[in-house]
Amino acid sequence: MRKVAMLLSAAVLASAAACSSGGAKEPGEGGTSDSGTDGKGKKVELSFWYGWTGPEGEALEQLITEFNETHDHIQVKGLSQSDYQKQLTAITGGNPPDLASQFGQNVTSWGVKGAMQPLDEYIKRDQVDLNDFVPSALSTAQYEGVTYALPIAMHVSMLFYNKDLLQEAGLDGPPETVSDLKMYIDKLSVIKEDGRLERLGLWPGTDAYTFTQVFGGKFWDPNKKEVTPEDPGFRQAVQLSKELWDKFGSENLDRFSASLGKYQSAQNPLFAGKYAMAIDGEWLPTFIEQFAPNLNYGIAPIPYDESKPELKNAGNINTSVFYIPKGAKHPEESWQFLKWLTEKKQMVKFTAAIGNLPTRVSALDDPAYNDVPGFKEFTEYAKSPNMGAFPSLPFMNEYMDEISKRFNDILREKVEIDEGLKQIKEKIQPLVQL
């Protein structure tokens, strides 16, 4: 793993340095004239790779068309390319697109390996107000003071609940605290006479990242340069899932899970009444409108830890970002397009069209979201100062993969909680030295 990472880093840096028309140029040195043409009076053509497909890709193409019609010196050609490994292949091969999209979790690992061009000089020169970005969302695009990308959309989870099922169980409104949540799960889960599950109050393998924020946990100590999977807050999140999981048992849960329908269909467990509650993202109301229009549901904040009321409305943020690859032929024009895309007006158009949350604070109250199902609850929730994000680290994906493996092992009694968390630390801490 280390050797691959080192070779990847060297290859990216070498290809960027070898590319005579892009890479380590200062803003304004993009290999074109000041007018934005290629020096012969022709428009500069930018290649833009993005990961969205279908209607979401069409929404982005509409913005590309708008940009092309309002900027006479730049022509953007978009390409829906959801295989992000091909981006890296193009960069290391010295033939990258001029602009591309990525997930926030990949930014730091790509940035420190030289695959992404730092944006801070552009940001400073053009006085882009980074204070207008939701802090946790922006943090996914930065590492050690360097901004490698700008976030266009963010994703937050909330608690969805079936109002009819809660009413049948004599429950008035959603659970507010973690203790309430446990009680609701007990009352809403239905077990048949033969011991098999008929309905779950909530799937017990809860979102450990979200609940780590609820319990005030952390994954990284920047001062000590140390990963902290044994942090009490993360341990509490894992313990909560384990406690809920043990109520039903792996065999029973696996059998029940095998009977569930597809997520993006009318057979979604929440839509079909198999789950009384679910923790899900801002896109779910659109699916409900499409597949279960008669579902009587509500949306509520993630229940908070009653011993930490100051952390009420805590949550976890993930992002989608835009970046300029190292070696891009027209970095100056790419920046102009990137800056335009992430301005409030364009951000609102795009995120409202695809049902994602905007990353600008000033956009959260925009009336464009009034007609997007469920967005009132999500935009209010996203304003909470208790929103957090998994730390932006060069080994972030390896860290999250290891958490997922050990989390599953803990739930299935392959390892005790403390030993599982210790194993994460032992596996990931050596990567800090890379």
- Reported as a single tens digit per residue, the pLDDT across 104-120 is 999 999 999 999 999 99
- CA 46, 65, 290, 302 torsion: positive or negative? positive
Query: Six-digit token pair at 103?
Result: 């997930």
Compute CA distances 351 → 63, 137, 221, 300, 369, whole Å.
11, 14, 33, 21, 9
Compute CA distances 343 → 69, 100, 138, 150, whole Å.
17, 17, 14, 10
Q: Is the pLDDT of residue 175 over 60?
A: yes
Q: What are phi and psi of 109, to 5 degrees?
A: -65, -40
**Do 98 and 389 contact (CB within 8 A), yes or no?**
no
What is the rounded distance in angstroms from the CA atom of residue 247 to the CA atom of residue 262? 25
Q: What share of the chain is helix, strand, coil (3-state, %, to 5)?
A: 45, 20, 35
pLDDT at 314: 97
Q: Is the pLDDT of residue 13 over 60?
A: no
pLDDT of 409-421, one tens digit each?
999 999 999 999 9
Q: Mapping DSSP to helix (H, G, I), strand (E, B) and coil, where does residue 191 land? A: strand
**Which residue carries 């109520």 as its tokens?**
247
More confident of the two residues 82 and 379: 379
pLDDT of 232-267, one tens digit each?
999 999 999 999 999 999 999 999 999 999 999 999
**Do 117 and 25 contact (CB within 8 A), yes or no?**
no
**Do 366 and 348 contact (CB within 8 A), yes or no?**
yes
What is the rounded distance in angstroms from the CA atom of residue 209 to the CA atom of residue 34? 47
Our separate counts of H helices and E strands in the chain read: 17, 15
What is the rounded distance in angstroms from the CA atom of residue 383 to the CA atom of residue 387? 8
**Which residue carries 């929404």 as its tokens?**
59
Compute CA distances 13 → 23, 26, 76, 94, 392, whole Å.
9, 17, 26, 10, 21
DSSP symbol at 325: B
